[in-house]
Amino acid sequence: MTPELQARILGRLKAAMAGPHSPAPRAAPEGAPETALDGDRFRQELSSFKRLPMVVGHASALSAPGDYVMEWVAGLPILVVRQVGGEVRGFLNICRHQGAMLVTDRCGRREALTCPRHSWRYALDGTLEAPRAGVLPNVGPEAHHLQPVNIAQRHGLLWAQLDGVADVASCLGPALDRDLSDLELATHRLFHTTVMSRRAHWRKVMDTVVAGHGAGRLLGSGGPGLGRPTTIVDDYGLHRRQACSDTRLASLDASAQVRSHTTLLYALYPNTLLMVHRDGLSHVSLVPMAVDHVTVVHRMLTPEGADHRNAERPSSFTRMDALLADHDGPPWTRSA
């Protein structure tokens, strides 16, 4: 995190500490909870995600040609693959023969993309290599290649958009775009990934994490007598920035490591959480799989040069996992 961003956050928090306490509002889900498990509404929501840039991973997961990440966007499986020339390309993870998924694991490395069902083989750039002849003879060769998906790389993150070109900067807006640049995400490296399945609407989990963060659940145990945490909330359109700090921050100057006493959360619409904490940065995707089923993917990123190969998972990541595994009660009720 750059000193400029630390100074901005420190200034906001100190001003809040000096003023009257006001509790952080919960993240407001769109629509009343009792209608959130409506199947039609869920399908409309997923369809609208096709027109948004969606974070599908961190670029450091693709260090060599053939490295790939797989993620679900708007109900469709997406593959992002590092090419021999160094660029990244995206495809639907769907074989053009009979629609099998080419890969089922979330990341890996392949020399080519070979379908497990009947062994159609695609090059890393999505072109069909084999069989070359004798299939669908009346259809042009492009119909056999993998279907491309627009991919953008910005702030070290990989963004996929199914309809249209991914304009990440416009989607974020200038203030948030500057914040993400100041997070120095591009110099972080993927350290560990946890995947969990929750029986809940994906926004229920998002709401729980934002509320838990605002209440100070990610600050850790700093010892007794630290008082009530201070939380600031800044909304940028549909996105949110939220910082939560213990009271020791009030005595720090602008050059202090703000992240030692503060957790900083970005809720990027629709389903991405970025959490800055003491040991690194959590990137969380809440992947809607069904109206009452979400896959939670927690990618732990550590600053370049940090060596955790033989270390336990840092405690701040463990706290984040615990919060992600929690949600306050059963999933929202299904509407009639």
The residue ranges that bind ligand FES (CB under 6 A) are: 95, 97-98, 100, 115, 117-118, 120
Q: How far is the CB of 244 from ligand FES (least distance, A)?
A: 48
Q: How far is the CB of 65 from ligand FES (least distance, A)?
A: 23
Toward ligand FES, which CB reaches closer, 111 or 235? 111
- Residue 54 Cα distances to 5, 49, 118, 160, 169, angstroms: 24, 8, 31, 5, 12
In the chain the first and final C-alpha atoms are separated, in Å, by 47
Q: How far is the CB of 292 from ligand FES (least distance, A)?
A: 30
DSSP state of 135: S
Toward ligand FES, which CB reaches closer, 98 or 187? 98
User: Using an 8 Å Cβ cutoff, are 295 and 72 in contact?
Assistant: yes
Residue identified by tokens 């450091």 is: 60
Q: How far is the CB of 88 from ligand FES (least distance, A)?
A: 23
Q: How far is the CB of 92 from ligand FES (least distance, A)?
A: 13
Toward ligand FES, which CB reaches closer, 31 or 99? 99
Toward ligand FES, which CB reaches closer, 42 or 120? 120
Toward ligand FES, which CB reaches closer, 143 or 254? 143
Give the rounded distance of the alpha carbon of 336 from its chain centre.
Answer: 32
Q: Which of these, 116, 180, 115, lies nearest to 152 by C-alpha position?
A: 180
- Residue 149 Cα distances to 89, 140, 158, angstroms: 8, 20, 12
Q: How far is the CB of 77 from ligand FES (least distance, A)?
A: 13
Q: How far is the CB of 120 from ligand FES (least distance, A)?
A: 4
Toward ligand FES, which CB reaches closer, 116 or 164? 116
Toward ligand FES, which CB reaches closer, 95 or 291? 95
Task: Please report how the helices 315-324 and 202-214 are oriented relative to each other, as an axis angle in degrees rounded to 10.
Answer: 130
Q: Which of these, 169, 136, 127, lies nearest to 152 by C-alpha position?
A: 169
Cis status of the peptide bond prior to 288, with omega within 30 of 0: no
Task: Supply 224's token pair.
Answer: 């007794």
User: Using an 8 Å Cβ cutoff, are 41 and 285 in contact?
Assistant: no
